Amino acid sequence: MTASTLNQLYQEREAYRLPLYSARQVARLTGLAASTVKTWTRADDQEALVQAASPEGLSFLNLVEVHVLAAIRHQHGIPLQRVRHAVQFVRQELQDEHPLAQHQFETDGVDLFVRALEDENLLINASRRGQITIRQLVEAYLRRIERAADGFPLRLFPVYTSAPGFVPDGLPAPIVVDPRVTFGRPVLTATYVPVDVVVDQYRAGDAVADIARNFNLPASAVEEAIRYELGA
């Protein structure tokens, strides 16, 4: 594919639909098990959570959807089939191929989604210490998506931990995913240096302080890149 063709795709926002990610990469960027991502995105599943995923890989829009769905799995452990039905319901109500990725979901669909999931055994009382409702958790994950003025998702600040009860804080975040930059590879927000480039230097034996100086980064950003890439 030529550079001019890629530029045209980017201009038309088609970069966001290109199959840039494997199930393993999406799993790393969302803190889910790769087997769970594959189950959600099976091409032969007519009710798959992530619709129209390419056999070659998943798009940025697919990644954003799984990011939102990860909120439910991390905190509440709701069965996949129940989440699938809820997403299908929202998709039909909003008439949107990617409801969880679109601004429309943020403004109109969260209540629909929670209502479709609602069960006295699944919703956790917000007054209980250390626990939050599904709606609050989904909204926390939605805040990790940077959008254009029309609501189209442009960048994702991923949550890449599967720690039970983890709730992401606000932006900015040290690592960002943007399909217009380095073909969607995770990069450090401050400089857009790819995470894997930073970590390669660490693997080669360079000290964190030296790597930070080389890339004009704070040491904390280098440490976050290492934590993401190596699970350290």
Among left, alpha and beta (phi > 0; psi -120 to 50; other), residue 165 is: left
**Distance of alpha carbon 211 from the chain centroid:** 27
Query: Residue 161: how many CB atoms within 10 A of its CB?
Result: 14
Q: What is the pLDDT of residues 133-160, one digit of tens each?
A: 777 778 888 888 999 888 889 999 988 7
Cβ–Cβ < 8 Å for 158, 177 = yes
Instruction: Give the containing element (helix H, strand E) for 80.
Output: helix 80-94
Could you give phi then psi for residue 73, rounded to 5 degrees? Answer: -70, -40
Cβ–Cβ < 8 Å for 55, 62 = no
Assigned token pair, 227:
């934590």
pLDDT, block means (10 residues), the chain with 232 residues: 54 81 90 84 49 68 87 73 81 82 80 72 41 72 87 88 62 84 91 94 95 92 88 64
Distance CA 45, CA 205 (A): 45
pLDDT score for 155: 93
DSSP state of 181: S
What does the domain layout of the chain look like in residue ranges?
A: 13-162
pLDDT score for 53: 52
Instruction: Give the containing element (helix H, strand E) for 189.
Output: none
pLDDT score for 101: 83
Distance CA 108, CA 151 (A): 12
User: Which distant-in-sequence residues (6+ apart) come within 8 Å of 222 by Cβ?
Assistant: 198, 202, 208, 211, 212, 215
Assigned token pair, 42:
């099976």
Q: What is the pLDDT of residues 59-70, one digit of tens each?
A: 999 899 888 888
Cβ–Cβ < 8 Å for 215, 191 = yes
Q: What angle separates helix 60-76 from helix 23-30, to the nearest 10 degrees?
A: 50
pLDDT score for 49: 46
